[in-house]
Each structure stands twice: as structure tokens, then as C-alpha cells.
Amino acid sequence: MDLGLAGRRIAVTAGSRGLGFATAQALASDGARVLIAARDSARLDAAVSLLGSDACGISLDLADRGAPERLAEDVVSRWGGLDGLVVNVGGPAPGRTLDYTDDAWDAAIEGVLLGSVRTLRALVPVLAPGAAILIILSTTVREPIPGLGASNVLRPGLAMLVKELSRDLAPDIRVNGILPGRIATQRILDLDGPDPAARRAQESMIPLGRYGAPEEFGRVAAFLVSPAASYVTGILVPVDGGILHSPW
Ligand SMILES: NC(=O)c1ccc[n+]([C@@H]2O[C@H](COP(=O)([O-])OP(=O)(O)OC[C@H]3O[C@@H](n4cnc5c(N)ncnc54)[C@H](OP(=O)(O)O)[C@@H]3O)[C@@H](O)[C@H]2O)c1
């Protein structure tokens, strides 16, 4: 199937590794021009070179209030606008909800909630008609994960934002969310820690019996951003090996 991505201009925030990078790779391999943003410029440059000659990068910290505007200015000066936006942020620190200090809540709210909202506020105005937005969320939108309190509390709000924006920006712009379960990225390896028993315990709860590969996530994400998904908006798509218990 041709996803219709050739030549489309797509920005992916937090895109130098993990889920963001896997999404950028899937988009680029189908012919999209991809701009990725992340903090570490050496890792960013390495990621851009893997994505090919039509890719570019910008070093910024999404926790910095001015970063989304800088990204929007960069997009306009490079390409004039965007046909797709993948909103991804660094994951919040783990912890039990009532154990987070106010400083830890501030960091999680700035990074996950406001980082996403500010990115959307700055970049929606540069989206061309027919563009698509995809927000990378988590299965915590539907079921809490023990030990990921900030994600459990904040991500359901962003899921509602997907629904709100899908109506506000229709019919010109589609807006969807994607819910990774346990995809084998550096963040998940860090959350599991060094004891292999931790991963085995997690995998035993997944109907498909294993963690997802980043490429398996990237393919679904690229489809949702592509013109091939032209009649899909306002939904949340789990990529979780079946771990969620409810069908909705
Ligand atoms: N992997 C999963 O299965 C899974 C499941 C549910 C939810 N999620 C969520 O999905 C998101 C991505 O997770 P991941 O597993 O791909 O993580 P990852 O492997 O740690 O990759 C994180 C990416 O985000 C960038 N980043 C982090 N903080 C940033 C900031 N403040 N500003 C700009 N870029 C930043 C990192 O680059 P720099 O460090 O260079 O900035 C890197 O490119 C996270 O929010 C995570 O909580 C992941």
C-alpha cells in the first residue's frame, strides 16, 4: 500500500531515539521529509544521518517554554509549513502518585502536559490543510500502570485534548493519539532495571508474550500520520501487544 507520504513535511518532537525516532524512520523510509527535535545534539546529528538526506534536526529542550516557537520558526524558514506533526515528549519520572514532591509534579507537568500543549499551540498555525497530528501517549490513558503515577494522572488529560482538537481543527486537520504499551526502548530498559526477571514479569502480562520492537510501533504511527488514514480522526490506537483489558 502506498501511504502517500512522499515529499510530505513532518516534524517529530523528542525524535532522536526510541518511539519518536522509530516513527521518523518509518515516515522517512516512505519518502517523507522529516525534521526531528531533541536535546542532545550529538545524538540528534547521528539520528538525522540515519534518516537520510531529506531529514534534518533541531536541538531544543521541550521543557524550555520558548522551544516550540523556535521549532515553528525553524519549520517556516525551512519548508514554509508542515503536513504532519508527531508530538512526543520525554517520559516523566516513575513513582507512586502520592509520593511525588511538588517539584517532581512541576517537572512532570512542564514536560508531559505543558510540553505537549505548547508544542501544539506553536505548531498548529503552521500546519497546511490536509495535515495530520499524532500525539504519542501511553496505555495509562486507559488503565493505570503501577509505579507510573505522573503518566497515569496526566496522560488521560492529553487523550481528551486529542478529542477536543480533532473537532476544533476538522475538517482540515486530523488529530489522533497512539498508546504504546511496552515497546523496547531505552526508557523501558531503564524502567525495568538490570534484573532480567523484571522484563519477564512484564512480558508474562502481555498476550503477545513479548515487548514490541520500536519499528512495530513506528509503522502504526506512520500510517496514522499518512494520507492513507484520511478518514481517521479523534481516536486513540493502542500498540500494546494486547495488554489493555478493555476494547475501548
Ligand atoms: N517505550 C514505551 O513502551 C512507552 C510506553 C508508554 C509511553 N511511552 C512514552 O513515550 C515517550 C517516548 O518514550 P521512549 O520510550 O521513546 O523514550 P526514550 O527512548 O528515552 O527516547 C526519548 C526521546 O525524547 C527526547 N527527549 C527527552 N526529553 C526531551 C526534552 N525535554 N526535549 C526534547 N527532547 C527530549 C530524547 O532525546 P534527548 O534526551 O537528547 O533530548 C529521545 O530522543 C515518553 O513520553 C514515554 O513516557 C513510552
Centre of ligand 1 to C-alpha 171, Å, is: 30
Question: Ligand 1, atom 44: nearest CA belongs to which residue?
Answer: 91
- Ligand 1 nearest-atom number relative to CA 17: 43
pLDDT at 32: 98
pLDDT at 248: 83
The count of structural domains within the chain is 1
Instruction: Identify any residues that bridge with 183 across adjacent strands, giving them in sequence order.
Output: 212
- Ligand 1 nearest-atom number relative to CA 22: 16
Residue 9, classed as helix, strand or coil, is strand
Is 70 part of a structural domain of the chain?
A: yes
8 A C-beta contact, residue 66 and residue 54: no
**Residue 108 belongs to domain with CATH number:** 3.40.50.720
Is 193 part of a structural domain of the chain?
A: no
pLDDT surpasses 90 at 174: yes
pLDDT band at 203 (very low <50, low <70, confident <90, very high): very high
Is 28 part of a structural domain of the chain?
A: yes
Is 197 part of a structural domain of the chain?
A: no
Q: For residue 232, give its domain range.
A: 9-183+214-238
pLDDT at 216: 98
214 lines ligand 1 (CB under 6 A): no
- For residues 162-188, give the mean pLDDT: 98
Is 204 part of a structural domain of the chain?
A: no
The overall average pLDDT reported for the chain is: 97
8 A C-beta contact, residue 219 and residue 5: no
pLDDT band at 180 (very low <50, low <70, confident <90, very high): very high
- Ligand 1 nearest-atom number relative to CA 20: 16
Minimum mean pLDDT among 22-26, 58-62, 136-140, 244-248: which range? 244-248
Q: Is the dihedral of CA 136, 180, 248, 27 positive or negative?
A: positive
8 A C-beta contact, residue 60 and residue 122: no
Is 234 part of a structural domain of the chain?
A: yes
For cell 516513527, name the residue.
Answer: 23
61 lines ligand 1 (CB under 6 A): yes
Is 188 part of a structural domain of the chain?
A: no
Q: pLDDT of 28-81, one tens digit each?
A: 999 999 999 999 999 999 999 999 999 999 999 999 999 999 999 999 999 999
Q: pLDDT of 220-229, one tens digit each?
A: 999 999 999 9
Is 40 part of a structural domain of the chain?
A: yes
pLDDT surpasses 90 at 107: yes
165 lines ligand 1 (CB under 6 A): no
pLDDT at 247: 87
Centre of ligand 1 to C-alpha 21, Å, is: 9
Put simply, whether the predicted model's pTM sits higher than 0.95 gets the answer yes
Question: Ligand 1, atom 33: nearest CA belongs to which residue?
Answer: 38
Q: pLDDT of 115-156, one tens digit each?
A: 999 999 999 999 999 999 999 999 999 999 999 999 999 999
